[in-house]
């Protein structure tokens, strides 16, 4: 009777996520590259975790493909690991992009991956512990509503032609989000699209292992930049004038 051996799975995280190094079945990016170069991969599977850049993921894919083991990377679907663009997220540096480009599942329901690059701006001063800090998830949620809006509602416009303003953003943390594979679901709950100003409400949820860990309810408006820019400038001028007035020295009263 022929016996079958169980596949050994490893989660790959960024080299700087040092707290994960000693965890069972978790390896760093550098360890994974060495393993792929030298190891027997016939009964091994890899799962992409957090801390990896788009370039790092591409290099892993290329290394596995060269050895004929592309199937060993279990969660690297081409669509879901195409990082969102600068135009979609309004981020200039690639390492600060926290999501893959959103895909539409059904009407008003979109999905993307959380992709935290260890070189990103929000990880430079906080790499202790195991969970991903809440501010990273808030920024990922912000990028999610920007990306869906840019890709599916204003695809023919330049990002500079409109202005996105957050009206409300409520975050609820149900459990920690760790440096493993994470899905983001984006559901539009209400929308009003009209010339000059459109308003959206959306529920954004972060999922790991089939469980919702964090939810963000957001309401935001999209304005024509030309109309909002002059108004915002006037408000800034008033804010500076008010600040100066508040700091003007008070006249001294002489004692009688």
- Domain of 122, CATH number, reads 3.10.129.10
Give dist(CA 52, CA 203) in Å, integer: 27
Regarding whether 163 and 100 lie in a shared domain, the answer is yes
Question: Which pLDDT score, from 0 to 100, does residue 1 have?
Answer: 39
Question: Which pLDDT score, from 0 to 100, does residue 188 have?
Answer: 98
List per-residue pLDDT tens for the chain, 256 residues long. 344 567 899 999 999 888 898 899 999 999 999 999 887 898 999 999 999 999 999 999 999 999 999 999 998 887 778 999 999 999 999 999 999 999 999 999 999 999 999 999 988 765 667 899 999 999 999 999 999 999 999 988 877 788 899 999 999 999 999 999 999 999 999 999 988 889 999 999 999 999 999 999 999 999 988 777 777 888 888 888 888 888 887 777 666 5
DSSP class of 131? B
86: in domain: no
Regarding whether 97 and 59 lie in a shared domain, the answer is no
DSSP collapsed to 3 states, 63-127: HHHHCCCHHHECCCCCCCCCECCHHHHCCCCHHHCCEECCEEEECCEEEEEECCECCCHHHCCCC
DSSP class of 250? P
194: in domain: yes
Regarding whether 98 and 28 lie in a shared domain, the answer is no
Q: What are phi and psi of 140, to 5 degrees?
A: -65, -40
Alpha helices in 128-255 (DSSP H): 134-148, 225-247
Is 244 in a helix, a strand, or coil?
Answer: helix
110: in domain: yes
Question: Which pLDDT score, from 0 to 100, does residue 48 have?
Answer: 95
Regarding whether 102 and 223 lie in a shared domain, the answer is yes
Regarding whether 202 and 140 lie in a shared domain, the answer is yes
Q: 199 is in which domain, residue-wise?
A: 92-234
162: in domain: yes
85: in domain: no
Closest CA to 77 of 108, 39, 115: 115
Is 40 in a helix, a strand, or coil?
Answer: coil
Regarding whether 155 and 125 lie in a shared domain, the answer is yes
Q: How far apart are the first and last CA of the chain?
A: 110
78: in domain: no
Question: Which pLDDT score, from 0 to 100, does residue 124 have?
Answer: 74
Q: Output the CA torsion sign for 239, 140, 213, 168.
A: positive
42: in domain: yes
Question: Which pLDDT score, from 0 to 100, does residue 125 have?
Answer: 65
Regarding whether 107 and 66 lie in a shared domain, the answer is no
The model's pTM is 0.88
Q: Which H or E run includes 199?
A: strand 197-208
**HSE-CB for 116 with a 13 A CA cutoff:** 35
DSSP class of 184? E
**Structurally, how many domains does the chain consist of?**
2
Regarding whether 159 and 98 lie in a shared domain, the answer is yes
Q: 62 is written with which tokens?
A: 């290329």
Regarding whether 162 and 45 lie in a shared domain, the answer is no
154: in domain: yes
Closest CA to 161 of 222, 86, 93: 222
Closest CA to 71 of 39, 89, 47: 47
**HSE-CB for 30 with a 13 A CA cutoff:** 5
CA 56 to chain centre: 17
């Amino acid at each position: 009777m022929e016996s079958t051996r169980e596949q050994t799975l490893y989660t790959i995280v960024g080299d700087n996520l040092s707290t994960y190094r000693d965890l069972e079945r978790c390896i760093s990016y550098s360890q994974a590259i060495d393993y792929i170069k030298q190891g027997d991969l016939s009964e091994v599977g890899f799962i992409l975790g957090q801390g990896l850049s788009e370039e790092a993921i591409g290099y892993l894919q290329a290394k596995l493909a060269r050895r004929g083991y592309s199937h060993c990377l279990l969660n690297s679907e081409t669509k879901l690991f195409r990082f969102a663009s600068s135009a979609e997220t309004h981020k200039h540096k690639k390492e600060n992009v926290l999501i893959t480009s959103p895909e539409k599942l059904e009407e008003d329901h979109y999905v993307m991956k959380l992709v935290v690059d260890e070189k990103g701006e929000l990880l430079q001063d906080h790499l202790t512990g195991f969970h991903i800090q809440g501010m990273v998830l808030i920024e990922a949620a912000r990028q999610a509503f920007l990306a869906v809006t840019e890709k599916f509602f204003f695809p023919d416009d330049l990002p500079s032609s409109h202005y996105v303003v957050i009206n409300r953003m409520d975050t609820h943390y149900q459990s920690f989000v760790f440096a493993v594979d994470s899905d983001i679901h984006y559901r539009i709950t209400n929308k009003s699209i009209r010339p000059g100003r459109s308003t959206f409400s959306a529920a954004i949820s972060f999922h790991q292992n089939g469980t919702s860990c964090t939810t963000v309810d957001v309401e935001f408006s999209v304005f024509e930049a030309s109309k909002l820019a002059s108004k915002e400038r006037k408000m800034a001028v008033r804010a500076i004038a008010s600040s100066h007035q508040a700091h003007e020295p008070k006249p001294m009263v002489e004692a009688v």
